[in-house]
Amino acid sequence: MTNSNPNNSSYGLTRRQSLKLFGMMLASAAVPVLSGCATSESKVSAVASDWPTLTIEPISVAGYGQDPSLIMPPPSPWPKTLTQQQIALVSRLTDILVPASNGQPGALQIGAVDVIDEWVSAPYAQQQRDRDSILRLLIWLDEESVRRFDQPFLAVNESEQFALLDNIAYDRNNIEQRLQQPAAVFNRLRSLVLAAYFCSEAGSREIGYQGNVAISGDYPGPTEEARAHLDGILDELGLSEYAYQP
Amino acid sequence: MTKFAHQVVIVGSGAGGAMAAYELTKAGINVLMLEAGRDYNPKTETPMFKRNADAPLMGAATSDKNFGYYDATVDGGWSVIDEPYTTDDESDFLWWRARMLGGRTNHWGRYSLRFSEHDFKGKSRDGLGADWPFEYADIAPWYDKTESLVGVCGTNTGLDDMPDSPPGVLQPPPTPRIPELLVAAAAKKHGITAVPMHRAVLTRPKDERAACFYATPCGHGCSIGAAFQTTTSLIPMAHKTGHFKLITNAMVKQVNTNDEGKVTGLTYIDKASSEEVTLDSPVVILAASACESARIMLNSASPGHPNGLANSSGQLGRNLMDSTGAGLGATIPALKNRPRYNEDGHTANHLFIPWWGHNEQHKLNFPRGYHFELGTGFREPGAWVSGDFSGYGESLKDEAKANYGASVYFALRGEMLPNEHCYMDIDPDVTDKWGIPVARFHWQWSEHELNQVAHGLQTAKTLLETMGATVGELPPPEQAIAKGGEIIHEVGTARMCDSPTDSVTNQWGQTWDCPNLFVMDGGVFASNPHKNCTLTIMTLAMRNANWLAGQIQQGAL
């Protein structure tokens, strides 16, 4: 299900490279990152930062253009660029974020890592920003893991992985400064993994999307259950007397 | 090919051009249509039932496909490769173009609201802008015919901001969805009425077009012809008359005139060969979009028309208007985890909020109205998941599921007034790939629009809070208002009025200076009511092409 183009390994960093860079980190950096809101950017000043400051090469391949086939979308519109090591790390993160449960596949099983790889390998502005920050997050996770447990993220046990993520996965408004950037980018990655999961057939079913089916005759509208639920809401909000009359 | 002697050349195949072509060919007049983009066949090219998961980047918008991968727009969007436009240093303006047969009708929102008598007489009412050169009563029968031909679903509401259609014209609207019903109740508490939207979507079959089957967003295009676009209706219908010929990839450079200043034809670039082709034509109709038609006319200056073709009034390119746009949304806690059902419907508003303040306008600090379109529903999952998330694992998934379909977004669409700072001219320094000088835009909102947006945001906040949402501090209107052009309702650049001294055309879209040159797109609008321009573009094109057919048949042209 995954394949990293071997010709493009130079786009990303291997874990070995990132660990080497760890020793060269400088204090203090201000890098634009995505905040909790996916569309707004903010500068998080990371004093005494351990946020990776290496140069990440942008993607310079062509996009799909202004007239791609909408009937047969290109299955592989541009080369995927994550290295095997990065794929392994993202795969683990997708599995932690949306695990398989109750007979439902999780983000790992539906191939979210492919979606992320396509996303961070795309030549468009939003995706390039995400690429820059997510690749740094992957490096940071390994470095943080080494700092805390003397081993990169995938080499430590599950409870250690959770302990590390717990520091950046909650309450972004009250997080210590050193962790603000990793937390913001983790949030962005989390949104992307959720999107990939709910876009999939299994995820779409699970979230309860019931559309995209042809209906003959008139649109049936809300079910009795949905109408009864609305009546409850109107009552609760004191709006029953204003209910819509066609 | 048999010899085809055209009597009229129409530039553009969108709402205005295709309607004019159908009306003229139906009357037996030979029409040659030029379209700057490629041929397009919705029957074979529309991504019906395609899922976001099957598109690159989960269908997300990119700089190549600005409204998402599956948006019907071909070779266009906010930019067209090799065909730039510019703005002055102080202005923000966006210009959406499509380079395809059918133009922007392939992806438009299909909202189809009639203008009212008071809309046509705004200046008489408050002294601002310009009156139109006719009454509502003059155009009402043409709205009837256009709605019947196009197919519009909705109801007669009796509201004076929504003129009724005669019985039998409107098709039944789809039933409202849960969040729309909640908004309607919250609005009613404040004396504001929500009603069925009028949309150019068939809920009953018409001609060779099927009724909506309530799947696939209309912005993708519609292979079954339920959502109106000229490529499944007017253009095939014009073809069937035997009086119609189409040339695609024909980028018009200028309209040509003789020594007397009369229009003799036009020159276009054949994009395939990059060669210039000059055509003679007894009559030319420009329907290339308000700004493209004005660009052609401004680029057609000659000794007889030193300031641009048919610009003796100096109004060509002036009075550029868009709709105002702003929005406010929030999660409604009571809608979390609500029961699931299929909410696709006709994929846009079943209910909306028309302007309720028309009769109280004098008490407000802005002169013209707006309406709210609603963003709600169990939409097909895509690249953006709504919610402010925390943690991971099962609880994360539950939070995302709870938030699904629980937000309500109010999108304001309002009337702006023309002002001296909003206009287009020709950039003296920039040409496109074809050597044609490009449009340059100038833009500045006035306090009329800013006050209106402030009012709209405050109203949206009140309604959201009435539904139990928490809404933070509102942004100032200067920040909240969309950029000029961003709502894609640009009109007014060749306006029609009563007098040749302050307008470009008469009420028939006939330019005052050249009797055989017509404008039949949004350029002719004398004002830009908040009610989405396309229905009125089509109605005027039908009425005025009908008048033109009479003129040709009488030998007047």
Q: What is the 3-state secondary structure (H, E, C) of B380-441?
A: CCCCCCCCCCCCCCHHHHHHHHHHCCCEEEEEEEECECCCCCCEEEEEEEEECCCCCEEEEE
Tell me which of B71, B181, B401 to substitute to probe the interface with A (most A C-beta atoms closer than 10 Å): B181
Q: For residue A47, give how far its alpha carbon lies from the nearest alpha carbon of chain B (Å).
A: 24
Q: What's the token pair of residue B504?
A: 């470009």
Q: Is the pLDDT of residue A30 over 70?
A: no
CB B380 within 8 A of CB B52: yes
Taking an 8 Å cut-off on Cβ atoms, the answer to whether A70 and B214 are in contact is no
Q: Is the pLDDT of residue A191 over 80?
A: yes
Determine what percent of chain A falls in helix, strand and coil, rounding each to the nearest 5: 50, 5, 45
Taking an 8 Å cut-off on Cβ atoms, the answer to whether B63 and A63 are in contact is yes
Q: Is the pLDDT of residue A24 over 50?
A: no
Taking an 8 Å cut-off on Cβ atoms, the answer to whether B385 and A220 are in contact is no
Domain boundaries of chain A, sorted by first residue: 6-62+75-207
C-alpha gyration radius of chain A: 22
Closest CA to B532 of B492, B488, B474: B488
- Name residues whose C-beta falls within 8 Å of residue A224's C-beta, 6 or more positions apart in sequence: none
Q: What pLDDT does residue B2 have?
A: 58
Alpha carbon of residue A204 to chain centroid: 17
Domain boundaries of chain B, sorted by first residue: 1-46+73-131+228-323+419-445+489-557, 152-220+325-414+446-480
Q: What pLDDT does residue A173 have?
A: 84
CA B127 vs CA A104, B58, B315: distances in Å: 65, 50, 19
CB B501 within 8 A of CB B509: no
Question: In chain A, what residues touch B191 (CB-CB under 8 Å)?
Answer: none
Closest CA to B322 of B200, B413, B456, B457: B413
Closest CA to A236 of B187, B407, B378, B333: B333
- Name residues whose C-beta falls within 8 Å of residue B508's C-beta, 6 or more positions apart in sequence: B518, B544, B547, B548
Distance CA B39, CA B509 (A): 27
Taking an 8 Å cut-off on Cβ atoms, the answer to whether A38 and B188 are in contact is no
Helix (H) or strand (E) holding B275: strand B275-280
Taking an 8 Å cut-off on Cβ atoms, the answer to whether B58 and A227 are in contact is no
Closest CA to A83 of A2, A140, A165: A2
How many contacts does A have with B, using Cβ atoms within 8 A?
240
Place of tokens 């102080």: B90
Report the amino acid identity of residue B417: L
Q: How far apart are the first and last CA of chain B?
A: 27
Q: What does DSSP assign to residue A84?
A: H
Closest CA to B487 of B290, B320, B323, B371: B323
**Nearest residue on chain A to B211, alpha-carbon basis:** A217
Place of tokens 């998941």: B385
Q: Is B342 exposed, middle or buried (0-12, 13-18, 19+ CB in 10 A)?
A: buried
Q: Is B488 left (phi over 0), alpha (psi -120 to 50) or beta?
A: left
Q: For residue A13, give how far its alpha carbon lies from the nearest alpha carbon of chain B (Å).
A: 23
CA B218 vs CA A23, B81, B302: distances in Å: 55, 25, 43
Q: What are phi and psi of A25, to 5 degrees?
A: -65, 140
Q: What does DSSP assign to residue B544?
A: H
Residue A101 β-bridge partners? A104
Q: What's the token pair of residue B419?
A: 């002002």
- Name residues whose C-beta falls within 8 Å of residue A180's C-beta, 6 or more positions apart in sequence: A44, A46, A172
Closest CA to B222 of B41, B373, B99: B41
CB B59 within 8 A of CB B52: yes
Report the amino acid identity of residue B510: Q
Question: In chain A, what residues touch B389 (CB-CB under 8 Å)?
Answer: 187, 190-191, 194
Distance CA B234, CA B537 (A): 14
Q: What's the token pair of residue B111?
A: 């909202």
For residue B371, the SS3 value is strand
Closest CA to B372 of B478, B489, B463: B463
Q: How many CA atoms lie within 13 A of B511 on its CB side?
A: 31
Taking an 8 Å cut-off on Cβ atoms, the answer to whether B466 and A237 are in contact is yes
pLDDT bracket for residue A48 (50, 70, 90): very low
pLDDT bracket for residue A171 (50, 70, 90): confident
Taking an 8 Å cut-off on Cβ atoms, the answer to whether B396 and A190 are in contact is yes
Q: What pLDDT does residue A42 have?
A: 41
pLDDT in tens, chain B (557 residues): 457 999 999 999 999 999 999 999 999 999 999 999 999 999 999 999 999 999 999 999 999 999 999 999 999 999 999 999 999 999 999 999 999 999 999 999 999 999 999 999 999 999 999 999 999 999 999 999 999 999 999 999 999 999 999 999 999 999 999 999 999 999 999 999 999 999 999 999 999 999 999 999 999 999 999 999 999 999 999 999 999 999 999 999 999 999 999 999 999 999 999 999 999 999 999 999 999 999 999 999 999 999 999 999 999 999 999 999 999 999 999 999 999 999 999 999 999 999 999 999 999 999 999 999 999 999 999 999 988 899 999 999 999 999 999 999 999 999 999 999 999 999 999 999 999 999 999 999 999 999 999 999 999 999 999 999 999 999 999 999 999 999 999 999 999 999 999 999 999 999 999 999 999 999 999 999 999 999 999 999 999 999 999 999 999 98
Measure CB to CB from residue B75 to each of A66, A240, A246 and give the nearest one.
A66
Q: What's the token pair of residue B167?
A: 């019985």
CB B230 within 8 A of CB B13: yes
For residue B160, the SS3 value is coil
Taking an 8 Å cut-off on Cβ atoms, the answer to whether B342 and A204 are in contact is no
Q: What pLDDT does residue B155 have?
A: 98
**Nearest residue on chain A to B332, alpha-carbon basis:** A233
Q: What pLDDT does residue B263 have?
A: 97
CB B63 within 8 A of CB A125: yes
* pTM, two decimal places: 0.93
Q: Using CB atoms and an 8 Å cut-off, which of residues 39-78 of chain A contact chain B?
A: 63-68, 70-71, 73-74, 77
Q: What pLDDT does residue B214 have?
A: 98
Which of the residue ranges A16-30, A199-213, B237-251 would you say has the lowest mean pLDDT?
A16-30
Cβ atoms < 10 Å from Cβ of A62: 9
Q: What's the token pair of residue B331?
A: 């999660």
Using CA atoms in the order A68, A74, A78, A82, what is the torsion angle rounded to 10 degrees?
A: 140
Measure CB to CB from residue B334 to each of A73, A191, A236 and give the nearest one.
A236
E-state strands within B302-369: 324-331, 351-352
Distance CA B236, CA B228 (A): 13
Q: For residue A24, give how far its alpha carbon lies from the nearest alpha carbon of chain B (Å).
A: 31
Tell me which of B379, B380, B397, B403 to substitute to probe the interface with A (most A C-beta atoms closer than 10 Å): B397
Three-state secondary structure along B45-93?
HCCCCCCHHHCHHHHCCCCCCCCCCCCCCCCCECCCCCCCCEECCCCCE
Average pLDDT over residues A63-88: 97
Report the amino acid identity of residue B359: N
pLDDT bracket for residue A10 (50, 70, 90): very low
Q: Is A14 exposed, middle or buried (0-12, 13-18, 19+ CB in 10 A)?
A: middle
Place of tokens 């573009």: B537
Q: How many residues does chain B have?
A: 557
Question: In chain B, what residues touch A65 (CB-CB under 8 Å)?
Answer: 64
Distance CA B490, CA B492 (A): 7
Q: Is B291 exposed, middle or buried (0-12, 13-18, 19+ CB in 10 A)?
A: buried
Q: What is the second-level CATH architecture of the domain B1-46+73-131+228-323+419-445+489-557?
A: 3-Layer(bba) Sandwich (3.50)
Distance CA B496, CA B494 (A): 7
CA B148 vs CA B202, B277, B404, B455: distances in Å: 11, 38, 38, 36
Q: How many residues does chain A have?
A: 246
pLDDT bracket for residue A14 (50, 70, 90): very low
Q: What does DSSP assign to residue A77?
A: S
Q: What's the token pair of residue A234?
A: 């109107």
CB A1 within 8 A of CB B347: no
ipTM over 0.90: yes
CB B100 within 8 A of CB B106: yes
Closest CA to A119 of A102, A156, A94, A96: A94
Q: For residue A63, give how far its alpha carbon lies from the nearest alpha carbon of chain B (Å).
A: 7
pLDDT bracket for residue A107 (50, 70, 90): very high
Question: In chain B, what residues touch A68 (CB-CB under 8 Å)?
Answer: 64-65, 69
